[in-house]
């Protein structure tokens, strides 16, 4: 439902190599407070750390699109894409080189005095055969992958969104019963491994305001290790309003020991799509908009941050004319930006 690694192999390989260069660039070009780091193309800078401590990748897909538009003299389009390119977005770690990617992103972030935002999405039997099916081959492969991510992060600051869909699909019947026990064990193990790191925060994915009721998911979250995590994430890759997401998160928090949570606001500016096939409302819906920009200054003390976990402009899947899940879709990115304030 959220992303696919196969569709992004070439882009991810490019990013893995580029991010190490970006780290050197950020170190050499940043000002004393780290707010002026920029690449030579699009001139991407870090956001003020006091409100938004997360790292902006100066070589992200949106930044490259921005540079291309500027080179082509498309100033209006460039101005719209800049709304995306200048914000920190989640870096989804791929299956092949988790240690290298995690190290590259966290080193670049640390050199800019920022925190890397990482998304881990490789659980076995992922996405129940939908657009983002795949994941690790088995439990041992997943544990090895998590170990690689942890080695890459080391003691550098990182915020991790752990396994979008994984708990939700245990509840909604999507994941077959025979895989439940293993999945809980893998999630608990991942939480423990990541929380053994000095400066890593972990938020387990916990669905969204439109899928069901917190009563259905709080016990599965407990089985998945929420007590040892920093909290949970809501609305990942979805479109429910920030207000509705806060209400859902607060209800759920009350059932899991008052845990804090983060909200994906990347595409929720106009709320959810209400037309067409209800089962496909989440997939590349038209008329959506960018939501609140990433920040730790939120409307509720239980909400640790608004984040752009889903990367705005990347397709949800081959629906409504979109490319494969995870591929950049410039026209959709432009629409999200144009529809936002």
* Residue in this structure with the two tokens 């000095």, named with its chain if needed: 198
Among residues 58, 67, 3, the alpha carbon closest in space to that of 36 is found at 58
Q: How many CB atoms lie within 10 A of CB 287?
A: 12
CA-to-CA distance for 184 and 269, rounded, in angstroms? 33
Helix and strand numbers, DSSP H then E, in the chain: 10, 7
CA nearest neighbour of 88 among 122, 118, 43, 65? 118
Distance of alpha carbon 75 from the chain centroid:
28
**Across-strand partners of 305?**
262
DSSP notation for 17-46: HHHHHHHHHHHHH--TTS-----TTT---P
Q: Where in the chain does DSSP place strands (E)?
A: 91-92, 116-120, 158-162, 200-205, 231-234, 260-264, 303-307
Q: Report d(CA 259, CA 193) in Å as an integer.
A: 19
Q: Is 335 exposed, middle or buried (0-12, 13-18, 19+ CB in 10 A)?
A: middle
61 with 19: CB under 8 angstroms? Answer: no
Q: Catalytic residues, which ones? A: 127, 165, 316
Please give the distance of CA 140 from its chain centroid, rounded to a whole number: 24
């Amino acid at each position: 439902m959220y992303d696919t690694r196969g569709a992004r192999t070439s882009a991810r390989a490019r990013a893995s190599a580029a991010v190490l260069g970006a780290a050197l660039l950020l170190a050499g070009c940043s000002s004393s407070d780290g707010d002026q780091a920029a690449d030579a193309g699009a001139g991407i800078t870090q956001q003020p750390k006091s409100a938004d401590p997360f790292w902006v990748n100066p070589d992200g897909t949106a930044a490259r699109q921005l540079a291309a538009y500027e080179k082509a003299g498309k100033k209006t389009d460039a101005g719209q894409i800049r709304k995306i390119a200048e914000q920190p977005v989640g870096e989804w770690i791929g299956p092949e080189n988790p240690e290298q990617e995690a190290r590259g992103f966290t080193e670049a972030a640390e050199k800019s005095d920022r925190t890397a935002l990482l998304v881990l999405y490789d659980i076995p039997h992922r996405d129940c055969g939908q657009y983002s099916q795949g994941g690790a081959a088995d439990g041992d492969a997943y544990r090895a992958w998590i170990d690689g991510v942890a080695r890459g992060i080391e003691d550098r600051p990182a915020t991790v969104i752990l396994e979008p869909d994984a708990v939700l699909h245990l509840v909604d019947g999507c994941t077959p019963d025979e895989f439940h026990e293993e999945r809980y064990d893998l999630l608990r193990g991942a939480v423990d491994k990541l929380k053994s790191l000095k400066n890593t925060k972990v938020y387990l994915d916990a669905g969204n305001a439109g899928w069901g009721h917190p009563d259905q998911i709080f016990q599965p979250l407990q089985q998945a290790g929420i007590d040892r995590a920093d909290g949970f994430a809501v609305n990942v890759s979805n479109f429910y309003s920030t207000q509705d997401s806060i209400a859902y998160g607060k209800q759920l928090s009350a059932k899991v020991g008052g845990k804090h949570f983060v909200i994906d606001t990347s595409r929720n500016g106009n709320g959810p799509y209400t037309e067409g096939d209800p089962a496909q409302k989440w997939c590349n819906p038209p008329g959506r908009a960018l939501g609140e920009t990433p920040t730790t200054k939120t409307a509720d003390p239980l909400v640790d941050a608004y984040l752009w976990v889903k990367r705005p402009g990347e397709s949800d899947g081959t629906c409504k004319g979109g490319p494969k899940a995870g591929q950049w879709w410039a026209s959709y990115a432009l629409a999200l930006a144009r529809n936002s304030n």
